[in-house]
Amino acid sequence: MRRNFKSKSKTRVGKKGLNELRKAYEELDRTARTLIRTDYLLHRANERFDQQISQLHALHRIGSSINSTFDLELILSGISESMTKDLDFEKSGIVFLEKNSQRPLQSAYTGFSSAEYRLFLDSYKDLLLPALQQEEVYLQTAAYAPAEWGRLLNTLSVSSLLLLPMRIKTRLIGFIVGARPHVTLRLSDSERRFFAMYATQASTAIENARLYEALGQANLTLEEKVQERTKNLVEANERLRDLDQVKSNFISLVSHELRTPLTAIKGFIVTLFHYDKEIPDDKRRVYLGVLNEETDRLTRLINELLDISRIESGRMEFQWSLVSVSDIVQRVFNTLSVKASSVKLERDFPDDFPGIVADPDKLEQVLVNLVGNALRYSPPTGTITVSGRKHEGGVIVEVKDEGPGIAFSEQEKVFDKFYRLDNETNRKNPGTGLGLPICRALINLHGGKIWVESEMNQGCHFIFTLPLNLDKQSIKDDDNRQEAVL
């Protein structure tokens, strides 16, 4: 070719030939231009293609990474790291907003220092939120940014900042931020589409995690509720079983207690009815005496049942007045003197023993019960002492006997309803097991306490306290607690 060219040049190229040569040369240049232009366009297309592949790859990576967990913290840090690793942002972050207040709630960031990130979030209300409400993909670049954005970019030591709002339907649930130290003047349509898809991917993952968490929480609450209800049911069931047992005991006891005097009464009445004329007077008196005792026993039993019923239903009424405990004790002694027979009844109250506000009948009922019990267990020549003394804004009253005493393990049980000590005396003297529970309820309703101290074969000390000035409000409150005190 070179040789041909040389030979041509040797043979004096004419003007026409030179023009043709120049024309061919220009044509060659035009062909080169077409070649370069095509090559350029192909490269551009190829670059766009590569960019889209890498964007899809980034989307896929972020998708598979954040959708493999429901842990919101992991998702947030995964997105923030992906912005840096896959999308080339030097600094990035993601913020999840509180549902109602729309304030930043949870966040993760990469590349920012903690101080920078704090300053960035400080601008949320004034700068970020209005921007997030404006566009799907919001870009600010140092050279063109308004003053306040310029200051923020400067503070963060970046030249461009991208904000991607995350929405579920129309509600803003958070946003992603990416910042670069280099100027990004504008984003192409495909870049905008990509970032919008990226934000959608992120918001879906976050919403899923949030729903999962809510579901988990609901499940947990449900499970807790089921457990609580089951526990309540078990407890209620146990209470019912106990109550059923108590009721059965009560019925059996009450039937027995009612039947025993009734049988006696019926027997003596039948005898008197059929053999009235044949029964001598002295026997008749004995029979009538028995009838009287058994009727008393029935009355007492019914009264006690009524008392318990009133106390439990809160219908027990009190007549408060200033009373002398010593006088009441004396009345009780008088009432029980016959029954006491050879047992000595002693009263020991100091002269300055104060009067107290109480219901005298209820207090008498308590003391009759305590002294009556003491009499039941006292040896024939024993002594029962009822003493009183002042104590811390109230009084203490003590009923002491010389009976066999109560074992320590039984000392609290004797105040349980229908509980009776298993001993010879009780077997001979049937009772309801309601006396001491009624005593405790009445003393409690007076604002006091009752307990027993005893050692085997050393007698019993039933002790109760009473306040000097009973607070009426506390009585009302106590009324409401009657069930509890019983």
Partner 1 sequence: MSLEMGIGVSSQADVYAAGQEAAEQVVSHLASRRPDLVMVFSSIRFADLRMLRAIRSVTGAAPLLGCTDAGGIITSGPRRRSVTVIGFICKGGSFVTGVEKHLSGNPRAAGERLTESLLGQATQPPRGLFVFPDGLSVSGSNILSGIERRLGPDVLLAGGTAADDLYFQKTFQFFNDEILTDSMPGVVFCGNIKIGIGSRHGWVPVGRPRRVTRSSGHIVYQLDRRPAVSIYEDFLGLKRNELMEDTLASMTLTYPLGTEMQGHSEYLLRDAIRVGRAGSLICTGDVLEGSEVRLMIGGYESALEAAQQAACDALEQLGGERLKGALVFCSVARQKMLGSEFQGEIDVIRDALGGSGVRLGGFYTYGELATAKQGRGKSRRSASLFQNESVVVAALG
Enumerate binding residues for partner 1 (CB under 8 A).
25-26, 28-29, 32-33, 35-37, 39-40, 43, 46-47, 50, 53, 80-81, 84-85, 88-90, 110-111, 159, 181-183
Closer residue to partner 1 in complex, CB, 45/456: 45
**Is the alpha carbon torsion for 307, 308, 313, 314 positive or negative?**
positive
Q: Closest distance between partner 1 and the C-beta of residue 47, in Å?
A: 7
- For Cα atoms 269, 274, 280, give the angle at the middle one, nearest 5 degrees: 85
CB atoms inside a 10 Å sphere around CB 26: 10
Closer residue to partner 1 in complex, CB, 110/369: 110
Structure-block tokens of residue 298: 């029935």
Task: Measure CA of the first residue to CA of the last residue in the chain; give whole Å.
Answer: 127
Q: What is the β-pairing status of strands 160-168 and 138-141?
A: antiparallel
Closer residue to partner 1 in complex, CB, 202/265: 202
Closer residue to partner 1 in complex, CB, 182/331: 182
Q: Closest distance between partner 1 and the C-beta of residue 41, in Å?
A: 8
Q: Closest distance between partner 1 and the C-beta of residue 25, in Å?
A: 6
d(Cα 273, Cα 287) in Å, to the nearest integer?
12
Closer residue to partner 1 in complex, CB, 27/346: 27
Closer residue to partner 1 in complex, CB, 37/413: 37
Q: Closest distance between partner 1 and the C-beta of residue 16, in Å?
A: 20
d(Cα 316, Cα 362) in Å, to the nearest integer?
10
d(Cα 147, Cα 153) in Å, to the nearest integer?
10
Closer residue to partner 1 in complex, CB, 35/240: 35
Closer residue to partner 1 in complex, CB, 183/234: 183
- With beta carbons less than 8 A apart as the criterion, state whether 203 and 166 touch: yes
Closer residue to partner 1 in complex, CB, 52/260: 52
Q: What is the β-pairing status of strands 344-348 and 383-391?
A: parallel
Q: Which residues of 349-376 are buried (b: 16+ CB within 10 A; e: fewer)?
A: beeebeebbbbbebbbbbbbbbbbbbbe
Structure-block tokens of residue 186: 């504008």
Q: H-helix or E-strand containing 264? A: helix 189-274
List the one residue out of 166, 6, 187 whose CA is nearest residue 93: 166
Q: Closest distance between partner 1 and the C-beta of residue 98, in Å?
A: 26
Q: Closest distance between partner 1 and the C-beta of residue 140, in Å?
A: 17
Q: Closest distance between partner 1 and the C-beta of residue 174, in Å?
A: 19
Structure-block tokens of residue 56: 């899809």
d(Cα 450, Cα 465) in Å, to the nearest integer?
7
Residue ranges of alpha helices (H) inside 314-359 are 325-340
DSSP-assigned beta bridge partners for residue 356 = 323
Position of tokens 């209005």? Answer: 130
